[in-house]
Structure 1
Amino acid sequence: MTAQAHHAPRPTKRQLIIETAERLFAEHGYDATSTARIATEAGVPSGLVFYHFATKLDLLIAVVQERPEPSEVLRSAARPRTVRGRLRAIVASLVAELENDRAARIIVFREAQGRPEIASRAAELFAGATATVADLLSGADDVVADAARVQAAAELVVSRVFLDTVALGQPETAAKRHAAMVELIAESLTSGPD
């Protein structure tokens, strides 16, 4: 008896349209990408795009909304017990997730300007990530900082990693900056008030 090959399920036509739109919006920008091109590259009839999405903006919103929350990825950073260990795990998780989902993050970064729906989603993603990072840091065994310092540290980590990975596209050259940031924040959160 031969073993049957296991295949990943084929994406639905809707998923295929979203994936194609994500790639094209990231490569060319929202305004420069027509729905006809999305349909052609997805291999579906043009009308099918509008069957699933009333407008091109609805398609853009779906591309941005249907992403995993950063908090899901960051929970694995809770394993280390110390602030320093958690910070290293948080930075590594954020860099990996942002690189893995780079196209969607570029779209959010680029299209948030002038599009309230996208700016709102960007704010939600940032708030969710910083809240998760703050929660992870405050649960470390050696943290002595108050909640305000922990929150500021979380915002700094998320902002810096996003800037290096998405806005500047420099995750490799950012490794030294990230290591220095981890040391600075770890010292700040584990030492008493000045």
Structure 2
Amino acid sequence: MTASAHARHTKRQVIVETAERLFAEHGYDATSTARIAHEAGVPSGLVFYHFATKLDLLLAIVQERPTPSEVLRSVAQGRSVRLRLRAVVATMAEELEHDRAARTIVFREAQGHPEIAERAAELFAEATETVADVLAGADDVVAEPDRVQAAAELVVSRVFLDTVALGQADTAAERHEAMIDLVADSLTTPGGRAQQD
């Protein structure tokens, strides 16, 4: 990358990071591109050099993130369902908490911007599919694929709810451990525990 290309890339990144902070703090509609440019320390025209519209800038914030599969597959080292679940749940909660500004934007702006809602649905589906693959690869799984898929949906939904919707990442560990036990039992016991009672 040439020095001028690197400078353009850096300025673009500064614009994205500034917009992310301002959109999270004040909302998309209440944040002007002039304010983004001012706080980013760039000319207003540079925002539109990199992004044709303010909506394109919003979409860049949502789309230019590590995908769930990249993050979650890297932690699935344990052999048992329980170990894999603990790693996946902890990593998901940590990633969602670390990416607080972006998740705030997605949660708030999905209502008024179908493109954001669609991207959020894609990320949720990808996370669910990845978790299902991670669980299916454990040595002690005896459940059918549809049960593994349902377990993955439960796990992703619960972590998302605690971290994004309720903002309770710090206090959710005990609930997550109970969920991990329930899911692990249902995937490693033939027919699930409910049918044995």
Q: 1:107 offset after TM fit, Å?
A: 1.0
SS at match of 2:169: coil
- Given candidates 51, 54, 62, the residue that maps to 2:52 is 54
- Given candidates 180, 183, 194, the residue that maps to 2:181 is 183
Structure 1 residues without counterparts, runs of 5 or longer: 1-8
TM-score (norm 2): 0.91
AA matched with 1:43: G
**What is the alpha-carbon root mean square deviation over aligned residues?**
1.3
Q: 1:101 offset after TM fit, Å?
A: 1.3
Distance 1:176 1:167 in 2: 18
Q: 1:103 offset after TM fit, Å?
A: 1.0
AA matched with 2:24: A
AA matched with 1:50: F
Q: 1:184 offset after TM fit, Å?
A: 0.6
* 1:31-87 Cα shifts (integer Å, max 9, x gaps): 111111111110111111111111111110111111110111101232100001100
Which segments of structure 1 move beyond 2 Å, counting only runs of 4 or more? none
1:80-95 → structure 2 map (5 Å cutoff)? 80-95=78-93
Task: Write 1 or 2 for the structure with the bigger share of helix.
Answer: 2
SS at match of 1:93: helix
Distance 2:19 2:123 in 1: 20
AA matched with 2:189: S
Count how many residue pairs are aligned between Structure 1 and Structure 2.
186
Distance 2:104 2:145 in 1: 31
AA matched with 2:49: Y
TM-score (norm 1): 0.92
Distance 1:61 1:140 in 2: 36
Distance 2:175 2:74 in 1: 22
AA matched with 1:61: L
Which residue of structure 1 aligns with residue 66 of structure 2? 68
1:91–1:157 Cα contact (<8 Å) kept: yes
Which region of structure 1 is more displaced relative to structure 2, 93-102 or 133-142?
Answer: 93-102
Q: 1:151 offset after TM fit, Å?
A: 0.6
Q: 1:13 offset after TM fit, Å?
A: 0.7
Distance 2:185 2:97 in 1: 28
Q: Sequence identity of aligned pairs in percent?
A: 77
1:106–1:167 Cα contact (<8 Å) kept: no
Which residue of structure 1 aligns with residue 3 of structure 2? none
Q: 1:172 offset after TM fit, Å?
A: 1.0
Which residue of structure 2 aligns with residue 133 of structure 1? 131
Distance 1:107 1:26 in 2: 5
